[in-house]
Structure 1
Amino acid sequence: MPKFFYSDCTITNIQKKSQINLGTVEATALVNGREAKKIAISPELYDYFRGKGNNIQHRIWFITKSKKKPITVIAVKNAQGDISSTPTSAKNYVAAALSSLLFSAIIWAISWPFMPIFVDRRDQDSSALWIGFIVFLFLFVRGARVISKISNFRSWPQGSIDESTTKVKQLFEKDEKDHSSKGGWQNN
């Protein structure tokens, strides 16, 4: 389940890994001094954090799923109060509808040969059609809810990015377990 939240933090050492699509760059960065291995960010915000936005406190709106999935940056608010966000437009709703329709057609095609196992041969077409329609409706509603949640990012709760990032171990930093007090051959 994705988490939608904002956090006041700094982004430093941002490095481009790849271009996901025309509007998204995948990068690595330090967020509040912790390593984020994958950040999905717009090219404009990537350039901003490479330049004058580097190492400056911002309010940033994130979507996270897990440490292995990319952290998505939705919007950034600078010290002057200006907000740069990814545009949420009607084409996102069309994309949600088309992807839902495509996935439903795939589910229908996969389920159609197996329908005789569950229903009478006469009801096979209508049962498979209902399954495809229910999958389409579920995916379309879910996609529309996510898109509307993203467009209302200002109402998201405050959260911590630390759960989605890893601590950077500094050179000569002591481990959490201090082995020096055990009195071994290393301690004279």
Structure 2
Amino acid sequence: MTDKKNTPSKNDKTSSDSQSELDTLRQIVFGAAQDNIEKRINTLEQQTLSSFSKMEQLLEKNVKTIKAQMEDGFNNLEDKLALADQSQDKRATEINNYADQISSALEMAEANSKQENDELHERLNQEIKNLSSTFTEQLEQALAKLNQVSSELNSSKTDRKTLAKLLASVASDLETGED
């Protein structure tokens, strides 16, 4: 077998010649326009790259600015929260102190009230004893006088008018004895 594959054929040579002629014709007919289009494409590419670069720089600058503003805002919020916490702690301490003072005052008032109640009860008991003994004495006196009058009546057998006068005098004695 002969090596036909490795040797270029005449057809291949003709086709490459016609290709180069076609390229030459294209260059002649479209060359100026193609060069102009390629220049415009290159210019547009440079402008686009330049614009992207400027936009990227502007975006980085804006991101840095926003980041700095956010950090400042967060720092301000942290400071305000710290002040609010301090104020809240101070108020809580004041309230606790006030509650302790009120509790102490209530305990003292309760102790004083208990002491006053005990003293009042003691005085009432003493007054009740005094009144009881006074009424007992007056009752005994009234009974003694009634017995005396009764015995006088039995012995003298006085009339009803005398008895009424006698009872009236006993009643008036009882009234004056209470005062």
TM-score, normalising length: structure 2: 0.22
Higher helix share: 2
TM-score, normalising length: structure 1: 0.21
Look at both structures and tell me which one has the larger radius of gyration over its CA atoms.
Answer: 2
